[in-house]
Amino acid sequence: MLSFASRFLGRNLNLVVGAGFLFALLLGIFSTVSGMIHDEPVHSAEHEFHLKPRDAGLQSAGLFGTFDNQQLQRGFQVYKEVCSACHSLRLVSFRDLAALGYDEGQIKTIATDWAIEQPSVNPETGEAATRKNLPSDRFPLVFANDVAARAANNNAVPPDLSLMTKARDDGSDYVYSLLTGYSAQPAELLRKFPEAKTPEGLHFNRYFSTLNLAMAPPLTAADQVQYQDGTRATVDQMAKDVAAFLTWTAEPNLQKRHSWGLATVVFLLIFTGLAFGAYRNIWRGMKH
C-alpha cells in the first residue's frame, strides 16, 4: 500500500502541487469575499469629506488638447512669484521656457535674475560658492537637502513640482482644486468626528487626501500677481494658470503626442478602407 502511494505521488507530484496551490487560492478568495460581505466599512473623516478634484477646464485637457502659451506664461509667473519660494522644478531647464514663447534674451534675463543661484566651487579656494544661472542650467533647488526643507517648513518637505500633475490622479484638476480648496472645517465634520479637528500648524483642504496639509494657502487674494498681459489675476485664474504651467512641465510634448495620435488614427482608418476595398476586389464573385 505504501509503495503504491509513493509511486502515485512520484508520478503525479505536479498535479498534487497544483491542486494545493488552487486550494490555497480559492481559500484566499473566499476569505476576502467573506470579509467584504460581513465587515462593516470603516467610516472616517477622510472617507466622508474628501472630494474628487474639480474640472479646471484647461485647454490641454482631452484627446485633442493643446497648450495656450499666454496661459503658460501666466502660470510661470505665478510659479516664479508665489510657488518658487518653497517648491523646486529640478527637471526643467531655463532654456525649456522657449517652448512657452520666450526668446533667447528673455530666457537669459530670467536665468540671471533668478533669486536662487547655482551651487558651485570657488576655483581659487576650493570652497563652496554660487554662480549666476545660465539658460542651460536646470532650475536650482530651493533647499539644499530635506533637513533644510523640514527646518523651514514646519517639519514638512515641499515636493518638487516638475512632475506633480503626473504624480497625482487627475493631476491638473488636482492642482487647481487644491489651490482653491482651502476653507474652515465644516461644523458637520467636527460634530461627527470631533477627533479630526485640524491640528495647529496644518490647514484644512477637502481635496487633500488626509484633509489637512502643512502648506498654507499660497493664493490668498485677487491681484496677488500682476499679469503682464492684462488678465485679471483672481485666485481662480491664478490657480488655473499655474495648473496649466505644471501640466506643461510634466508633459512638455503633450501637443506633439496628441497630433501624432490623431495622425495615427487617420492613417489606420485610411489603411483599413484600402484593405477592405482590396479584399472586396480580389475576392469579388467568390463564395466564402
pLDDT digits (tens, 9 = 90+) for 113-149: 999 999 988 888 888 899 999 999 999 999 999 999 9
Chain centre distance of CA 233: 24
Rounded distance, CA 110 to CA 120, Å? Answer: 19
Report the chain's terminal Cα–Cα distance, integer Å.
61
Q: Quote the number of domains for the chain.
A: 1
Q: Which residues contact 178 (CB under 8 A, 6 or more apart)?
A: 53, 205, 207, 208
Q: Is residue 4 part of a domain?
A: no
The parent domain of residue 236 ranges over: 46-92+160-252
| pLDDT for the residue 178 | 98
Whether 38 has a pLDDT exceeding 70, the answer reads no
Whether 35 has a pLDDT exceeding 90, the answer reads no
Q: Is residue 203 part of a domain?
A: yes
User: What single-letter DSSP state applies at residue 279?
Assistant: H
Q: Is residue 288 part of a domain?
A: no
Confidence of residue 37 (pLDDT cuts 50, 70, 90): low
Q: Is residue 180 part of a domain?
A: yes
User: What single-letter DSSP state applies at residue 120?
Assistant: E
Q: Is residue 114 part of a domain?
A: no
Mean pLDDT to the nearest integer, 204-226: 96
Say if CB 148 and CB 159 are below 8 A apart: no
Q: Regarding beta strands 212-213 and 203-204, do their DSSP bridges make them parallel or antiparallel, or are they unpaired? A: antiparallel
Share of the chain above pLDDT 90, in %: 66
Average pLDDT over all residues of the chain: 89
On whether the pTM is more than 0.75, the answer is yes
**What three-state secondary structure class fits 280?**
helix
128 phi/psi in degrees, rounded to 5:
-60, 140
Q: Is residue 201 part of a domain?
A: yes
Buried b or exposed e, range 81-96, using 16+ CB within 10 angstroms = ebbbebbbbeebbbbb
Mean pLDDT to the nearest integer, 22-41: 69
Whether 158 has a pLDDT exceeding 90, the answer reads yes
Whether 92 has a pLDDT exceeding 90, the answer reads yes
Q: Is residue 38 part of a domain?
A: no
Whether 107 has a pLDDT exceeding 60, the answer reads yes
Comparing 137-141, 171-175, 278-282, the range with the smallest average pLDDT is 278-282
Grid coordinates representing 239? 490657480
**Alpha helix positions (H), the chain:** 2-11, 13-38, 45-49, 69-81, 104-113, 146-152, 164-167, 171-180, 187-192, 235-250, 254-282
Closest CA to 193 of 50, 84, 87: 50
Q: Is residue 212 part of a domain?
A: yes
CATH number of the domain encompassing residue 240: 1.10.760.10
Q: CB-based burial of residue 46 (10 Å sphere; 0-12 exposed, 13-18 middle, 19+ buried)?
A: middle
What is the per-residue pLDDT across 64-80, written as a single tens digit (0 to 9) for each? Answer: 899 999 999 999 999 99
